[in-house]
Structure 1
Protein backbone atom coordinates (compact mmCIF):
# COMPACT_ATOMS: atom_id res chain seq x y z
CA UNK A 1 0.00 0.00 0.00
CA UNK A 2 1.28 3.45 -0.88
CA UNK A 3 0.22 6.79 0.55
CA UNK A 4 1.85 9.62 -1.35
CA UNK A 5 1.65 13.27 -0.32
CA UNK A 6 2.87 16.10 -2.53
CA UNK A 7 2.20 19.60 -1.22
CA UNK A 8 -1.54 19.84 -0.73
CA UNK A 9 -2.19 16.86 -2.99
CA UNK A 10 -2.90 13.47 -1.49
CA UNK A 11 -2.97 10.54 -3.90
CA UNK A 12 -4.34 7.41 -2.28
CA UNK A 13 -3.92 3.95 -3.75
CA UNK A 14 -4.83 0.47 -2.49
CA UNK A 15 -6.35 1.78 0.78
CA UNK A 16 -8.79 -0.51 2.60
CA UNK A 17 -12.42 0.21 1.74
CA UNK A 18 -13.19 0.89 5.42
CA UNK A 19 -11.06 4.02 5.28
CA UNK A 20 -13.12 5.48 2.44
CA UNK A 21 -16.39 4.40 3.95
CA UNK A 22 -15.68 6.77 6.84
CA UNK A 23 -15.72 9.55 4.24
CA UNK A 24 -18.84 8.31 2.50
CA UNK A 25 -16.79 7.04 -0.45
CA UNK A 26 -17.08 3.47 -1.64
CA UNK A 27 -14.12 1.22 -2.20
CA UNK A 28 -15.21 -0.34 -5.55
CA UNK A 29 -14.32 2.79 -7.54
CA UNK A 30 -10.71 2.44 -6.44
CA UNK A 31 -10.71 -1.33 -6.75
CA UNK A 32 -11.77 -0.97 -10.38
CA UNK A 33 -9.02 1.41 -11.37
CA UNK A 34 -10.40 4.64 -9.92
CA UNK A 35 -8.28 7.43 -8.48
CA UNK A 36 -8.91 9.57 -5.41
CA UNK A 37 -7.52 12.97 -4.49
CA UNK A 38 -7.87 14.95 -1.28
CA UNK A 39 -7.93 18.76 -1.15
CA UNK A 40 -7.62 20.90 1.95
CA UNK A 41 -9.71 24.07 1.90
CA UNK A 42 -8.24 27.04 3.76
CA UNK A 43 -9.76 30.44 4.46
CA UNK A 44 -9.77 33.52 2.29
CA UNK A 45 -10.95 36.98 3.29
CA UNK A 46 -10.37 36.07 6.95
CA UNK A 47 -13.57 34.05 6.74
CA UNK A 48 -12.53 31.42 9.28
CA UNK A 49 -13.69 28.74 6.86
CA UNK A 50 -11.89 25.46 6.31
CA UNK A 51 -12.76 22.04 4.97
CA UNK A 52 -11.86 18.91 3.06
CA UNK A 53 -12.68 17.82 -0.48
CA UNK A 54 -12.42 14.32 -1.92
CA UNK A 55 -12.36 13.89 -5.69
CA UNK A 56 -12.82 10.36 -6.99
CA UNK A 57 -12.50 9.52 -10.67
CA UNK A 58 -13.77 6.32 -12.25
CA UNK A 59 -13.60 6.57 -16.01
CA UNK A 60 -15.27 9.88 -16.85
CA UNK A 61 -17.40 9.85 -13.69
CA UNK A 62 -16.19 12.38 -11.13
CA UNK A 63 -17.51 12.20 -7.58
CA UNK A 64 -17.02 15.40 -5.59
CA UNK A 65 -17.49 15.29 -1.83
CA UNK A 66 -17.06 18.44 0.26
CA UNK A 67 -17.34 19.03 3.96
CA UNK A 68 -16.61 22.60 5.05
CA UNK A 69 -17.21 24.65 8.16
CA UNK A 70 -17.14 28.32 9.02
CA UNK A 71 -19.57 29.19 6.21
CA UNK A 72 -22.35 31.78 6.61
CA UNK A 73 -25.20 29.93 8.41
CA UNK A 74 -28.36 29.46 6.37
CA UNK A 75 -26.85 31.03 3.26
CA UNK A 76 -26.08 29.41 -0.13
CA UNK A 77 -22.47 29.05 -1.18
CA UNK A 78 -21.48 29.17 -4.83
CA UNK A 79 -18.72 26.60 -5.34
CA UNK A 80 -16.65 25.57 -8.32
CA UNK A 81 -13.71 23.68 -9.72
CA UNK A 82 -11.41 26.39 -11.10
CA UNK A 83 -8.32 26.13 -13.26
CA UNK A 84 -7.22 25.08 -16.71
CA UNK A 85 -7.33 21.83 -18.66
CA UNK A 86 -5.13 23.32 -21.38
CA UNK A 87 -1.74 23.30 -19.76
CA UNK A 88 -1.85 26.59 -17.84
CA UNK A 89 -1.09 26.58 -14.13
CA UNK A 90 -3.06 28.41 -11.45
CA UNK A 91 -2.93 28.63 -7.68
CA UNK A 92 -4.81 29.90 -4.64
CA UNK A 93 -4.17 33.63 -4.10
CA UNK A 94 -3.35 35.58 -0.94
CA UNK A 95 -4.08 38.99 0.56
CA UNK A 96 -1.61 40.72 -1.74
CA UNK A 97 -4.07 40.14 -4.59
CA UNK A 98 -6.45 42.69 -3.05
CA UNK A 99 -5.21 45.24 -5.57
CA UNK A 100 -7.65 48.02 -4.73
CA UNK A 101 -6.80 47.76 -1.04
CA UNK A 102 -10.40 47.73 0.16
CA UNK A 103 -9.80 44.77 2.45
CA UNK A 104 -11.92 42.37 0.41
CA UNK A 105 -10.47 39.90 -2.06
CA UNK A 106 -13.03 39.94 -4.87
CA UNK A 107 -13.62 37.40 -7.62
CA UNK A 108 -12.20 39.71 -10.26
CA UNK A 109 -9.01 40.26 -8.27
CA UNK A 110 -8.63 36.53 -7.72
CA UNK A 111 -9.40 35.17 -11.18
CA UNK A 112 -5.89 35.68 -12.52
CA UNK A 113 -4.66 33.42 -9.72
CA UNK A 114 -7.12 30.55 -9.62
CA UNK A 115 -8.42 30.84 -13.17
CA UNK A 116 -11.85 30.64 -14.69
CA UNK A 117 -14.60 28.29 -13.58
CA UNK A 118 -14.26 24.87 -15.12
CA UNK A 119 -17.15 23.12 -13.33
CA UNK A 120 -19.94 24.65 -11.24
CA UNK A 121 -20.55 22.33 -8.29
CA UNK A 122 -24.33 22.61 -8.25
CA UNK A 123 -26.68 20.34 -6.33
CA UNK A 124 -28.65 19.45 -9.47
CA UNK A 125 -28.98 20.26 -13.15
CA UNK A 126 -26.05 21.28 -15.33
CA UNK A 127 -22.56 22.03 -14.05
CA UNK A 128 -21.54 24.51 -16.72
CA UNK A 129 -19.41 27.55 -15.92
CA UNK A 130 -22.38 29.74 -16.78
CA UNK A 131 -24.19 28.28 -13.75
CA UNK A 132 -21.54 29.68 -11.45
CA UNK A 133 -23.90 32.08 -9.68
CA UNK A 134 -27.07 30.02 -9.82
CA UNK A 135 -27.51 30.12 -6.04
CA UNK A 136 -30.81 28.26 -6.26
CA UNK A 137 -28.77 25.17 -7.14
CA UNK A 138 -25.92 25.67 -4.71
CA UNK A 139 -25.61 24.04 -1.27
CA UNK A 140 -26.83 25.95 1.78
CA UNK A 141 -24.92 25.99 5.06
CA UNK A 142 -26.73 24.67 8.12
CA UNK A 143 -27.23 26.61 11.34
CA UNK A 144 -23.69 25.79 12.41
CA UNK A 145 -22.21 27.04 9.14
CA UNK A 146 -21.39 23.56 7.85
CA UNK A 147 -21.81 22.44 4.24
CA UNK A 148 -21.87 18.77 3.26
CA UNK A 149 -21.98 18.11 -0.46
CA UNK A 150 -21.69 15.02 -2.62
CA UNK A 151 -22.41 14.62 -6.30
CA UNK A 152 -21.24 12.42 -9.17
CA UNK A 153 -21.06 14.06 -12.58
CA UNK A 154 -19.87 13.09 -16.05
CA UNK A 155 -16.81 15.05 -17.17
CA UNK A 156 -14.86 15.38 -20.40
CA UNK A 157 -11.57 13.67 -21.10
CA UNK A 158 -9.79 16.99 -20.64
CA UNK A 159 -10.90 17.06 -17.00
CA UNK A 160 -9.87 13.42 -16.53
CA UNK A 161 -6.43 14.18 -17.96
CA UNK A 162 -5.93 17.42 -15.99
CA UNK A 163 -7.77 16.77 -12.73
CA UNK A 164 -4.57 17.55 -10.79
CA UNK A 165 -4.48 21.02 -12.34
CA UNK A 166 -7.88 22.02 -10.94
CA UNK A 167 -8.85 23.28 -7.49
CA UNK A 168 -11.94 24.05 -5.43
CA UNK A 169 -13.25 27.47 -4.36
CA UNK A 170 -16.30 28.21 -2.23
CA UNK A 171 -17.84 31.68 -2.03
CA UNK A 172 -19.73 33.74 0.55
CA UNK A 173 -18.39 35.85 3.44
CA UNK A 174 -19.87 37.79 6.35
CA UNK A 175 -17.80 40.94 6.86
CA UNK A 176 -20.12 42.53 9.41
CA UNK A 177 -20.91 39.30 11.27
CA UNK A 178 -24.69 39.53 11.00
CA UNK A 179 -25.04 35.99 9.61
CA UNK A 180 -26.36 37.02 6.21
CA UNK A 181 -25.20 38.48 2.91
CA UNK A 182 -25.92 42.21 2.73
CA UNK A 183 -24.60 45.36 1.10
CA UNK A 184 -23.44 46.91 4.37
CA UNK A 185 -20.68 44.37 4.80
CA UNK A 186 -18.65 44.99 1.65
CA UNK A 187 -20.84 46.88 -0.82
CA UNK A 188 -21.96 45.66 -4.24
CA UNK A 189 -20.54 42.70 -6.11
CA UNK A 190 -18.42 43.61 -9.11
CA UNK A 191 -19.99 40.66 -10.90
CA UNK A 192 -23.57 41.83 -10.47
CA UNK A 193 -24.50 45.11 -8.73
CA UNK A 194 -27.77 43.54 -7.68
CA UNK A 195 -25.81 41.17 -5.45
CA UNK A 196 -23.81 42.07 -2.34
CA UNK A 197 -20.06 41.54 -2.48
CA UNK A 198 -20.42 39.25 0.53
CA UNK A 199 -22.34 36.73 -1.59
CA UNK A 200 -19.69 36.39 -4.31
CA UNK A 201 -16.34 36.94 -2.59
CA UNK A 202 -14.35 33.72 -2.07
CA UNK A 203 -14.41 32.20 1.39
CA UNK A 204 -11.87 29.41 0.92
CA UNK A 205 -9.68 27.68 -1.65
CA UNK A 206 -7.85 24.39 -1.96
CA UNK A 207 -5.41 23.16 -4.58
CA UNK A 208 -5.38 19.71 -6.08
CA UNK A 209 -1.93 20.50 -7.34
CA UNK A 210 0.06 23.66 -6.66
CA UNK A 211 0.44 25.87 -9.73
CA UNK A 212 3.18 28.19 -10.79
CA UNK A 213 2.85 31.88 -10.02
CA UNK A 214 2.69 34.15 -13.04
CA UNK A 215 1.06 31.82 -15.52
CA UNK A 216 -1.23 33.36 -18.11
CA UNK A 217 -4.92 32.48 -17.58
CA UNK A 218 -6.91 30.92 -20.38
CA UNK A 219 -9.91 32.94 -21.56
CA UNK A 220 -11.69 35.77 -19.80
CA UNK A 221 -13.12 36.16 -16.33
CA UNK A 222 -15.84 33.66 -15.54
CA UNK A 223 -18.71 34.48 -13.23
CA UNK A 224 -17.81 33.28 -9.77
CA UNK A 225 -14.05 33.46 -10.28
CA UNK A 226 -12.41 34.82 -7.16
CA UNK A 227 -9.21 35.15 -5.22
CA UNK A 228 -8.69 32.76 -2.38
CA UNK A 229 -5.86 33.44 0.06
CA UNK A 230 -2.98 31.01 0.28
CA UNK A 231 -4.05 28.17 2.59
CA UNK A 232 -2.36 28.45 5.97
CA UNK A 233 -4.79 26.68 8.28
CA UNK A 234 -4.33 23.05 9.19
CA UNK A 235 -7.53 21.12 8.59
CA UNK A 236 -8.82 18.93 11.40
CA UNK A 237 -10.90 16.81 9.06
CA UNK A 238 -7.88 16.25 6.85
CA UNK A 239 -5.78 15.29 9.85
CA UNK A 240 -8.45 12.82 10.88
CA UNK A 241 -8.29 11.22 7.45
CA UNK A 242 -4.50 11.13 7.58
CA UNK A 243 -4.58 9.53 11.03
CA UNK A 244 -7.05 6.91 9.82
CA UNK A 245 -4.91 6.14 6.78
CA UNK A 246 -1.70 6.03 8.80
CA UNK A 247 -3.37 3.77 11.36
CA UNK A 248 -4.36 1.39 8.58
CA UNK A 249 -0.81 1.46 7.22
CA UNK A 250 0.70 0.92 10.65
CA UNK A 251 -1.69 -1.95 11.33
CA UNK A 252 -0.73 -3.62 8.08
CA UNK A 253 2.99 -3.23 8.82
CA UNK A 254 2.66 -4.59 12.36
CA UNK A 255 0.55 -7.51 11.14
CA UNK A 256 3.13 -8.28 8.48
CA UNK A 257 5.95 -8.22 11.00
CA UNK A 258 4.06 -10.46 13.41
CA UNK A 259 3.42 -12.96 10.65
CA UNK A 260 7.07 -12.85 9.60
CA UNK A 261 8.19 -13.42 13.18
CA UNK A 262 5.86 -16.41 13.46
CA UNK A 263 7.57 -18.22 10.56
CA UNK A 264 10.48 -20.35 11.87
CA UNK A 265 13.82 -19.45 10.34
CA UNK A 266 12.50 -16.38 8.53
CA UNK A 267 14.35 -13.09 9.00
CA UNK A 268 12.73 -9.70 8.60
CA UNK A 269 14.36 -7.46 5.99
CA UNK A 270 14.81 -3.78 6.78
CA UNK A 271 15.78 -0.89 4.55
CA UNK A 272 14.99 -0.18 0.92
CA UNK A 273 13.86 -2.78 -1.50
CA UNK A 274 12.62 -3.21 -5.01
Structure 2
Protein backbone atom coordinates (compact mmCIF):
# COMPACT_ATOMS: atom_id res chain seq x y z
CA UNK A 1 0.00 0.00 0.00
CA UNK A 2 2.86 2.38 0.86
CA UNK A 3 4.46 1.70 -2.54
CA UNK A 4 1.16 2.34 -4.28
CA UNK A 5 0.73 5.59 -2.35
CA UNK A 6 4.22 6.77 -3.34
CA UNK A 7 3.55 6.02 -7.02
CA UNK A 8 0.28 7.88 -6.83
CA UNK A 9 1.99 10.84 -5.18
CA UNK A 10 4.66 10.97 -7.88
CA UNK A 11 2.03 10.74 -10.60
CA UNK A 12 0.03 13.52 -8.96
CA UNK A 13 3.12 15.72 -8.73
CA UNK A 14 3.95 15.14 -12.39
CA UNK A 15 0.40 15.96 -13.42
CA UNK A 16 0.50 19.14 -11.39
CA UNK A 17 3.63 20.27 -13.24
CA UNK A 18 2.12 19.85 -16.70
CA UNK A 19 0.20 23.17 -16.75
CA UNK A 20 3.35 25.05 -15.71
CA UNK A 21 5.46 23.33 -18.36
CA UNK A 22 2.83 24.08 -20.97
CA UNK A 23 2.72 27.71 -19.89
CA UNK A 24 6.48 27.99 -20.32
CA UNK A 25 6.31 26.68 -23.88
CA UNK A 26 3.44 29.01 -24.77
CA UNK A 27 5.35 32.05 -23.53
CA UNK A 28 8.47 31.39 -25.60
CA UNK A 29 8.72 33.90 -28.47
CA UNK A 30 9.02 32.07 -31.78
CA UNK A 31 8.22 33.20 -35.29
CA UNK A 32 9.31 34.89 -38.50
CA UNK A 33 8.68 38.53 -39.31
CA UNK A 34 9.29 40.65 -42.38
CA UNK A 35 9.46 44.36 -43.17
CA UNK A 36 9.42 46.40 -46.34
CA UNK A 37 11.84 49.29 -45.85
CA UNK A 38 10.64 52.52 -47.43
CA UNK A 39 11.93 56.12 -47.41
CA UNK A 40 11.31 58.00 -44.17
CA UNK A 41 8.94 60.93 -44.63
CA UNK A 42 10.54 64.30 -45.46
CA UNK A 43 14.10 62.99 -45.70
CA UNK A 44 13.89 62.24 -49.40
CA UNK A 45 16.13 59.19 -49.62
CA UNK A 46 15.57 57.31 -52.93
CA UNK A 47 16.12 53.94 -51.27
CA UNK A 48 14.15 50.91 -50.19
CA UNK A 49 14.71 47.35 -49.12
CA UNK A 50 13.54 44.31 -47.21
CA UNK A 51 14.32 42.83 -43.82
CA UNK A 52 13.51 39.57 -42.08
CA UNK A 53 13.91 38.60 -38.46
CA UNK A 54 13.38 35.04 -37.24
CA UNK A 55 12.88 34.58 -33.51
CA UNK A 56 13.62 31.43 -31.53
CA UNK A 57 13.28 32.01 -27.82
CA UNK A 58 15.67 34.80 -26.91
CA UNK A 59 17.73 34.62 -30.09
CA UNK A 60 17.12 36.28 -33.42
CA UNK A 61 18.53 35.91 -36.93
CA UNK A 62 18.46 39.02 -39.11
CA UNK A 63 18.69 39.34 -42.89
CA UNK A 64 18.44 42.66 -44.70
CA UNK A 65 18.90 43.91 -48.26
CA UNK A 66 18.58 47.51 -49.45
CA UNK A 67 19.64 49.78 -52.29
CA UNK A 68 19.61 53.47 -53.16
CA UNK A 69 21.47 54.57 -50.02
CA UNK A 70 24.39 57.02 -49.91
CA UNK A 71 27.27 54.88 -51.23
CA UNK A 72 30.43 54.10 -49.31
CA UNK A 73 29.37 55.71 -46.05
CA UNK A 74 28.41 54.01 -42.78
CA UNK A 75 24.71 53.41 -42.30
CA UNK A 76 23.74 52.69 -38.71
CA UNK A 77 20.85 50.22 -38.63
CA UNK A 78 18.77 49.14 -35.68
CA UNK A 79 15.68 47.38 -34.47
CA UNK A 80 13.64 49.87 -32.46
CA UNK A 81 10.92 49.25 -29.90
CA UNK A 82 9.22 51.20 -27.15
CA UNK A 83 6.28 50.09 -25.04
CA UNK A 84 4.69 53.52 -25.40
CA UNK A 85 5.69 54.04 -29.05
CA UNK A 86 3.20 53.92 -31.91
CA UNK A 87 5.04 50.92 -33.44
CA UNK A 88 5.24 52.52 -36.87
CA UNK A 89 7.47 54.62 -39.09
CA UNK A 90 7.44 58.38 -38.50
CA UNK A 91 5.33 60.76 -40.56
CA UNK A 92 5.69 64.41 -41.53
CA UNK A 93 3.69 65.36 -38.43
CA UNK A 94 6.61 64.16 -36.28
CA UNK A 95 8.74 67.08 -37.49
CA UNK A 96 8.45 69.00 -34.23
CA UNK A 97 11.26 71.42 -35.13
CA UNK A 98 9.54 72.45 -38.33
CA UNK A 99 12.77 72.34 -40.34
CA UNK A 100 11.33 70.09 -43.03
CA UNK A 101 13.34 66.99 -42.11
CA UNK A 102 13.15 64.26 -39.46
CA UNK A 103 15.96 63.39 -37.09
CA UNK A 104 16.19 60.25 -34.97
CA UNK A 105 14.72 61.83 -31.84
CA UNK A 106 11.73 63.18 -33.74
CA UNK A 107 11.07 59.66 -34.99
CA UNK A 108 11.22 58.21 -31.47
CA UNK A 109 7.50 58.50 -30.65
CA UNK A 110 6.79 56.40 -33.74
CA UNK A 111 9.38 53.63 -33.44
CA UNK A 112 10.78 53.80 -29.89
CA UNK A 113 14.32 53.33 -28.63
CA UNK A 114 17.12 51.24 -30.08
CA UNK A 115 16.87 47.67 -28.78
CA UNK A 116 19.22 45.92 -31.23
CA UNK A 117 22.16 47.43 -33.11
CA UNK A 118 22.59 45.65 -36.45
CA UNK A 119 26.37 45.76 -36.42
CA UNK A 120 28.44 43.51 -38.66
CA UNK A 121 30.66 42.34 -35.79
CA UNK A 122 30.86 42.56 -32.01
CA UNK A 123 28.26 43.95 -29.64
CA UNK A 124 24.66 44.31 -30.82
CA UNK A 125 23.21 46.07 -27.78
CA UNK A 126 21.91 49.67 -27.79
CA UNK A 127 25.37 50.71 -26.54
CA UNK A 128 26.62 50.14 -30.10
CA UNK A 129 23.95 52.35 -31.62
CA UNK A 130 26.56 54.74 -33.01
CA UNK A 131 29.42 52.30 -33.61
CA UNK A 132 29.90 53.66 -37.13
CA UNK A 133 33.02 51.57 -37.66
CA UNK A 134 30.96 48.35 -37.38
CA UNK A 135 27.96 49.15 -39.57
CA UNK A 136 27.57 48.42 -43.27
CA UNK A 137 29.03 51.12 -45.54
CA UNK A 138 26.68 50.38 -48.46
CA UNK A 139 29.15 49.84 -51.33
CA UNK A 140 27.46 51.12 -54.46
CA UNK A 141 24.54 52.22 -52.29
CA UNK A 142 23.60 48.64 -51.43
CA UNK A 143 23.39 46.74 -48.16
CA UNK A 144 23.46 42.96 -47.93
CA UNK A 145 23.36 42.08 -44.24
CA UNK A 146 23.00 38.79 -42.45
CA UNK A 147 23.73 37.98 -38.82
CA UNK A 148 22.48 35.17 -36.60
CA UNK A 149 22.23 34.19 -32.95
CA UNK A 150 21.75 37.72 -31.62
CA UNK A 151 20.67 37.57 -27.99
CA UNK A 152 17.72 39.75 -27.00
CA UNK A 153 15.53 40.11 -23.94
CA UNK A 154 12.21 38.28 -23.66
CA UNK A 155 10.35 41.58 -24.03
CA UNK A 156 12.18 42.44 -27.24
CA UNK A 157 11.68 38.94 -28.67
CA UNK A 158 7.96 39.14 -27.93
CA UNK A 159 7.70 42.63 -29.40
CA UNK A 160 9.26 41.41 -32.65
CA UNK A 161 6.86 38.46 -32.89
CA UNK A 162 3.91 40.72 -32.01
CA UNK A 163 4.67 43.17 -34.83
CA UNK A 164 5.63 46.02 -32.51
CA UNK A 165 9.25 46.53 -33.57
CA UNK A 166 10.64 48.64 -36.38
CA UNK A 167 13.78 48.36 -38.52
CA UNK A 168 15.43 51.71 -39.25
CA UNK A 169 18.47 52.36 -41.45
CA UNK A 170 20.10 55.75 -40.90
CA UNK A 171 22.20 58.07 -43.04
CA UNK A 172 20.82 60.86 -45.25
CA UNK A 173 22.64 63.08 -47.76
CA UNK A 174 20.35 66.11 -47.47
CA UNK A 175 22.49 68.39 -49.65
CA UNK A 176 23.35 65.70 -52.22
CA UNK A 177 27.11 66.24 -52.09
CA UNK A 178 27.98 62.57 -51.62
CA UNK A 179 29.06 62.71 -47.99
CA UNK A 180 27.84 63.35 -44.46
CA UNK A 181 28.41 67.02 -43.65
CA UNK A 182 26.57 70.26 -42.96
CA UNK A 183 26.30 72.71 -40.10
CA UNK A 184 23.48 70.92 -38.28
CA UNK A 185 24.83 68.52 -35.68
CA UNK A 186 23.39 65.13 -34.85
CA UNK A 187 20.81 65.03 -32.08
CA UNK A 188 22.49 61.81 -30.89
CA UNK A 189 26.16 62.84 -31.04
CA UNK A 190 27.17 66.48 -31.64
CA UNK A 191 30.51 65.32 -33.03
CA UNK A 192 28.61 63.96 -36.05
CA UNK A 193 26.55 65.84 -38.64
CA UNK A 194 22.83 65.18 -38.49
CA UNK A 195 23.08 63.58 -41.94
CA UNK A 196 25.00 60.66 -40.42
CA UNK A 197 22.21 59.73 -38.01
CA UNK A 198 18.95 60.93 -39.55
CA UNK A 199 16.62 58.01 -40.45
CA UNK A 200 16.72 57.05 -44.13
CA UNK A 201 14.47 54.01 -44.59
CA UNK A 202 12.10 52.28 -42.20
CA UNK A 203 9.74 49.33 -41.96
CA UNK A 204 7.58 47.64 -39.32
CA UNK A 205 8.32 43.96 -38.74
CA UNK A 206 5.13 41.95 -39.17
CA UNK A 207 4.32 38.25 -39.36
CA UNK A 208 5.77 36.80 -42.55
CA UNK A 209 2.97 35.96 -45.03
CA UNK A 210 2.75 32.35 -46.17
CA UNK A 211 3.08 33.29 -49.84
CA UNK A 212 6.01 35.66 -49.43
CA UNK A 213 6.23 39.34 -48.64
CA UNK A 214 4.01 41.95 -50.24
CA UNK A 215 6.25 44.89 -51.02
CA UNK A 216 3.26 47.12 -51.60
CA UNK A 217 1.93 48.71 -54.80
CA UNK A 218 4.40 51.24 -56.08
CA UNK A 219 6.70 50.64 -53.15
CA UNK A 220 9.68 49.50 -55.21
CA UNK A 221 11.54 51.73 -57.62
CA UNK A 222 12.92 50.30 -60.87
CA UNK A 223 16.50 50.94 -59.75
CA UNK A 224 16.18 48.62 -56.76
CA UNK A 225 14.07 45.81 -58.15
CA UNK A 226 17.09 43.56 -58.65
CA UNK A 227 18.33 44.23 -55.14
CA UNK A 228 14.95 43.44 -53.66
CA UNK A 229 14.92 40.17 -55.60
CA UNK A 230 18.29 39.34 -54.07
CA UNK A 231 16.95 40.34 -50.70
CA UNK A 232 14.00 38.02 -51.18
CA UNK A 233 16.39 35.14 -51.82
CA UNK A 234 18.38 35.94 -48.70
CA UNK A 235 15.19 36.20 -46.68
CA UNK A 236 13.94 32.84 -47.88
CA UNK A 237 17.26 31.31 -46.90
CA UNK A 238 16.96 32.86 -43.47
CA UNK A 239 13.43 31.54 -43.13
CA UNK A 240 14.66 28.05 -43.96
CA UNK A 241 17.38 28.34 -41.34
CA UNK A 242 14.84 29.43 -38.75
CA UNK A 243 12.54 26.54 -39.60
CA UNK A 244 15.40 24.03 -39.43
CA UNK A 245 16.50 25.40 -36.07
CA UNK A 246 12.98 25.21 -34.71
CA UNK A 247 12.64 21.61 -35.87
CA UNK A 248 15.92 20.65 -34.25
CA UNK A 249 14.76 22.22 -31.02
CA UNK A 250 11.50 20.30 -31.14
CA UNK A 251 13.30 17.04 -31.91
CA UNK A 252 15.51 17.50 -28.87
CA UNK A 253 12.50 18.12 -26.63
- Fold similarity call, TM over 0.5: yes
C-alpha RMSD over aligned residues: 2.8
1:189 paired residue number: 186
The one of 57, 62, 87 aligned to 2:60: 62
How many Å separate the matches in 1 of 2:230 and 2:65? 14
Match of 1:200 in 2: 197
Distance in 2, Cα, partners of 1:104 & 1:205: 15
Q: What is the deviation of 1:166? A: 0.8
Q: Distance in 2 between matches of 1:135 and 1:102?
A: 26
CA distance, structure 2, for counterparts of residue 146 and residue 241 of structure 1: 14
Q: Does 1:78 align with 2:76?
A: yes
- Whether 1:168 aligns to 2:167 is yes
Work out whether 1:43 is the aligned partner of 2:58: no
Deviates more, 1:69-78 or 1:90-99: 90-99
Tell me, in whole angstroms, the C-alpha distance in 2 between the residues paired with 1:108 and 1:192: 12
Shift of 1:241: 4.6
Deviation at 1:35?
Answer: 2.7
Q: Does structure 1 conserve the Cα–Cα contact (< 8 Å) formed by 2:144 and 2:231?
A: no
Cross-structure match for 1:125: 122
Task: Classify 1:233/1:196 alpha carbon distance in 2 versus 1 (closer, same or farther; 3 Å).
Answer: farther
CA–CA separation in structure 1 for the residues paired with 2:125 and 2:189: 19
Unaligned runs of 5+ in 1: 1-32, 211-230, 246-274
CA distance in 2, matches of 1:155, 1:80: 13
Look up the match of 1:110: 107
Tell me which of 208, 211, 234 is aligned to 2:219. 234
Please, what TM-score do these two structures have when normalized by structure 2?
0.67
Instruction: Supply the distance in 1 between the matched residues of 2:85 and 2:99 (Cα, whole angstroms).
Output: 29
2:146 pairs, out of 150, 159, 165, with 150
Measured after TM superposition, the shift of residue 127 of structure 1 is: 1.1
Give the deviation of 1:239 after TM superposition: 11
Contact 1:40–1:238 at 8 Å: present in 2 too? Answer: no
Deviation at 1:109, TM superposition (A): 1.1
- Distance in 2 (CA, whole Å) between partners of 1:123 and 1:96 is 33
Q: Which residue of 2 aligns with 1:4?
A: none
Change (3 A) 1:191 1:54: same
Matching residue of 1:138: 135
Give the structure with higher Rg (CA): 2
CA contact (8 A) 2:85 2:109 kept: no
After TM superposition, give the deviation of residue 162 of structure 1 in Å: 1.9
In 2: Cα distance, 1:232 partner to 1:93 partner = 20
How many pairs does the alignment contain? 188
Q: CA deviation at 1:174?
A: 0.6
TM-score (norm 1): 0.62
Native 8 Å contact 1:83 1:90 kept in 2:
yes
Q: Could you list the runs of 5+ residues in structure 2 that have no partner in the other structure?
A: 1-28, 208-215, 237-253
